[in-house]
Amino acid sequence: MTKNIFSLPLSLGLLFCAASVYATEQEQLAQAIKQLDAAKLSLQRAAASAKVSAKSREYFDYVAARQDISTVQEGIKQYINPSRAIPRNPKAVRSLKEDYLNLRSQ
């Protein structure tokens, strides 16, 4: 089960490299958004099949991982289709959680 989760970045990298080298930046970024959608679906399937008991000390934070993927997708979409030419407020930028291993309180 965890092998699939951790091989996801490798799979995404291979898919991205397999895209045409002649595609435009916009096309490559649109493809990245589709691949991130596939990653969210993989996380959803992994979460559905996860066997986490109340006794488990560690567990994967699927919600945070999906939220981070959505954040990256939104950033790409804003770059592809900017809604305005005014620079964004750097304080408004969301940060990624990046750490998906959670520990249960004992």
pLDDT digits (tens, 9 = 90+) for 67-97: 999 999 999 999 998 876 656 666 566 778 7
In terms of residue numbers, what domain contains 50?
2-103
Long-range Cβ contacts of 51-59 (<8 Å, 24+ apart): 51/1, 54/104, 56/104, 57/103, 57/104, 57/106, 58/101, 58/102, 58/103, 58/104, 59/101, 59/102, 59/104
pLDDT value of position 103 = 73
pLDDT value of position 46 = 94
pLDDT lower than 50: segments of the chain:
1-2
pLDDT value of position 87 = 61
Number of domains in the chain: 1
pTM score: 0.65
> Is 39 within 8 Å of 62 (Cβ atoms)?
no
Contacts of 17 (CB under 8 A, 6+ apart): none
